[in-house]
C-alpha cells in the first residue's frame, strides 16, 4: 500500500493490499477500497462507497457523492463498484437515494471523461460510456452496452445488452438489446452488427436476431401480438432476450427510423419544370 503524504485518507477506511493513492486524494471513513486499486491525484471516494479490486480511478473523479435531488435524503444508500474498472477524469457516481438501496457499477467497465452516473443506476459488465454521457436516476445499462459521447438517458430508462447508443442521443424510452441507435435522430437503425461480431456471435445467431428484430419493428403487429410471437418463435438462444426485455418495459421501446415508401425529397432550388426526386425505402 502506497499513500501519498498529501492525500487525506481516513484511518477508518478499509484499504486493501497494493493500493496506490496519489496526492490530494480524499478517502472518507465509510469506504472500502479493494486490492490493487489506483487513485490518481485529486480523486475523491466518499462515505458509503465500496470498490472491488484493480480499479483505476483518474484525476478529479468523485465516487459516492450525495444524490442530486430536491429532497436530500438523510440516510442515502450506497455505491458498489466491482473490479477492473477504468474511471476517467471528472466522472461522478452518486449514492442511491434511499437507505438499503444501491448504485451499482459492475466489472471491467470504461467510464470516460465527465460521465455522470446518477443515484440508483445499475451498470453491468464490460460497458463503455464515453465522454460527457449523462445517466439520470434509476437507469440500467446492461452488459456490453455502449453509450456514446454526449448522450443523455432519461430516468428509469434501460439500455439492453450489446445495444449501441449514438453520440448526443436523447433516450426517453428503453433501448432493446442488440440494436444500434442513431445519435442524430435518437431512433433505432438496425442491429449492432459490429458489436455482435466482436463478441463472437455466429451467422445463425445473427439471423435469429434479425428475424426477431423484424417481428418487433417490421411486422406491423400490435404490441401483444409482437410479444406472443417473440415468446413462441424465439424461446431459445440470444434472440430470447428480446422477449424478456420487451415484455418488462414500462416506458415503451425506442422506435425505428425508416424512410417512408415513396418519400419525396425536395431540392433546395428546384425549377418548376423539373420533376421531384423520389426515394424508395430500401
Looking at 52, 119, 124, 149, which residue is catalytic?
A: 119
Q: Let me know whether 97 and 235 are in one domain.
A: no
Active site residue 120: yes
pLDDT tens-digit map of 139-186:
999 999 999 999 999 999 999 999 999 999 999 999 999 999 999 999
Q: Let me know whether 166 and 92 are in one domain.
A: yes
pLDDT tens-digit map of 110-125:
999 999 999 999 999 9
Q: Let me know whether 131 and 43 are in one domain.
A: yes
Active site residue 119: yes
What grid cell was written down for 183?
Answer: 445519435
Beta-carbon neighbour count of residue 98 at 10 Å?
13
Looking at 47, 107, 120, 143, which residue is catalytic?
A: 120
User: Three-state SS string across 214-275, please?
Assistant: HHHHCCCCCHHHHHHHHHHHCCCCCCHHHHHHHCCCCCCECCECCCCCCEEECCCCCCCCCC
Domain count, the chain: 2
Q: Let me know whether 205 and 115 are in one domain.
A: no
Burial of 2 from C-beta contacts in 10 A (0-12 / 13-18 / 19+):
exposed
pTM of this structure: 0.90
What grid cell was written down for 40?
Answer: 490518481
Looking at 60, 137, 149, 160, which residue is catalytic?
A: 137
Q: Let me know whether 172 and 65 are in one domain.
A: yes
Provide the residue range defining the domain that includes 228.
201-246
Inter-residue contact 165 to 159 (CB < 8 Å) = yes
CA atoms of 203 and 198, how far apart (whole Å): 12
Amino acid at each position: 500500500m502506497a499513500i501519498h503524504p498529501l492525500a487525506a485518507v481516513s484511518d477508518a477506511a478499509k484499504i486493501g493490499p497494493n493500493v496506490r493513492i496519489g496526492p490530494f486524494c480524499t478517502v472518507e471513513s465509510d469506504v472500502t477500497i479493494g486490492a490493487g486499486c489506483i487513485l490518481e491525484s485529486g480523486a475523491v471516494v466518499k462515505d458509503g462507497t465500496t470498490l472491488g479490486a484493480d480499479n483505476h480511478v483518474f484525476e478529479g473523479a468523485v465516487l459516492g457523492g450525495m444524490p442530486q435531488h430536491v429532497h436530500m435524503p438523510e440516510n442515502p444508500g450506497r455505491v458498489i463498484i466491482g473490479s477492473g474498472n477504468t474511471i476517467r477524469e471528472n466522472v461522478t457516481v452518486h449514492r442511491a437515494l434511499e437507505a438499503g438501496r444501491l448504485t451499482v457499477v459492475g466489472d471491467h467497465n470504461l467510464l470516460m471523461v465527465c460521465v455522470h452516473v446518477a443515484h440508483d443506476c445499475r451498470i453491468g459488465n464490460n460497458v463503455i460510456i464515453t465522454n460527457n454521457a449523462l445517466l439520470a436516476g434509476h437507469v440500467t445499462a446492461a452488459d456490453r452496452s455502449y453509450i456514446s459521447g454526449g448522450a443523455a438517458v432519461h430516468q428509469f430508462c434501460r439500455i439492453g445488452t450489446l445495444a449501441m447508443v449514438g453520440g448526443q442521443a436523447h433516450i426517453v424510452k428503453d433501448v432493446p438489446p442488440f440494436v444500434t441507435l442513431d445519435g442524430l435522430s435518437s431512433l433505432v437503425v438496425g442491429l449492432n452488427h459490429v458489436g455482435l461480431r466482436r463478441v463472437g456471435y455466429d451467422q445463425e445467431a445473427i439471423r435469429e436476431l434479425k428475424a426477431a428484430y423484424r417481428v418487433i419493428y417490421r411486422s406491423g403487429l400490435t404490441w401483444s401480438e409482437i410479444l406472443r410471437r417473440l415468446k413462441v418463435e424465439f424461446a431459445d438462444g440470444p434472440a430470447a432476450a428480446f422477449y424478456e426485455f420487451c415484455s418488462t418495459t414500462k416506458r415503451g421501446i425506442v422506435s425505428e427510423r425508416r424512410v417512408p415508401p415513396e418519400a419525396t425529397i425536395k431540392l433546395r432550388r428546384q425549377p418548376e419544370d423539373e420533376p421531384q426526386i423520389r426515394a424508395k425505402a430500401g
